Amino acid sequence: MNEQNHKIVPVELAPMAGYTNLPFRLMAKKYGADRVTTEMVSAKGLYYRDKKTAQLMATMPEERPVGVQIFGSDPEIIAETVARDINPLDFDFLDFNAGCPAPKIVKNGDGSALLNDLPLLERIVSAMVKVSDKPVRVKLRLGWDDAHIVIDEAIRRVEDAGAAMSVVHGRTRAAFYSGKADWEAIARAKTLVEIPVVANGDIDSPEAAMRCLEVTHADGLMVGRAAVGRPFIFERIKARLAGKDGPLPSAGEILNMAITHVQLVEEYADQTGPMVEMRKQLVAYTKGMPDSARLRQRIFTCQSAQDMTDCLRAYALREGISLP
């Protein structure tokens, strides 16, 4: 795809358990993400009114359009949860996870385990569509493993069930996040349906985004792990899609982003859980910086927002990095 024949599509942050809480989503929006989605929310947890589950749905007007992602495998519980707990909330779309490969999810028949029972997946999506006052989107993988590639049938079934959109991660459940995402498989699936298809997997740079779009002709691009510690990736991808160069931020600018992220976690502490969860984000922000191994050791001793901010500022001073 040359610079004169590019396609401009939405670029969004993938829902990631343990990462895409409210502060991270606000950072992604600040740096160009067109859409964001919550972490996975258990339909069963909502059904039984678990407080920690409900906290995952904290949102702010600044992050719109924002979706909520739920997972489960019981159509009745899911439908009741959507009608009772999600419809009253200010989300712009409802995302259903049929792609998570985590063992603790699939052992209960949820996530990518549903790729082994496509009739059940179709019933779930149909039940959601019937009660939801929001568009329903379905996140899929290619299949359980290479011997059971079912994406073509799966995406047809979710369209038939009334889904307004699908996201396809170009790997099987067995692959988890190893190997390369199969963008060709996403491209084939897209030709089978009329609903928009968002491509996901290995979109880790502006160059990769352009190649993925060239192969898949997708209606959107979803960035996951590559956005951790790099929220600016959205601006860079969108600049490239617009035929421009999106320069990499300086080390000082990245550290300043990290400090802003820490401040957001502190501001929304009631919705985000323990501050120590921010440590993994800081490690990602500072990866590849000078003497990052020693900095990483220091980060893992930080307990509070002040500790983290002081740590980053002291590091910048020691390394001669100017903060904006």
- Give residues with Cβ within 8 angstroms of 23, minimum separation 6: 261, 264, 265, 267, 268, 272
Asked whether residue 225 is marked as a ligand-binding residue, the answer is yes
For residue 297, the surrounding DSSP H or E stretch is helix 292-299
Phi, psi (deg, nearest 5) at residue 275 = -60, -30
- Asked if 95 contacts 15 with a C-beta cutoff of 8 angstroms, the reply is yes
Asked whether residue 139 is marked as a ligand-binding residue, the answer is yes
Residue corresponding to tokens 């020691």: 318
Distance CA 15, CA 39 (A): 5
User: Active-site positions?
Assistant: 100
Residue corresponding to tokens 């191994």: 293
- Give residues with Cβ within 8 angstroms of 70, minimum separation 6: 40, 41, 42, 43, 46, 78, 81, 82, 86, 94, 95, 96, 97
Asked whether residue 169 is marked as a ligand-binding residue, the answer is yes
- Asked if 241 contacts 7 with a C-beta cutoff of 8 angstroms, the reply is yes
Asked whether residue 1 is marked as a ligand-binding residue, the answer is no
Binding residues for FMN: 15-17, 69, 139, 169, 224-225
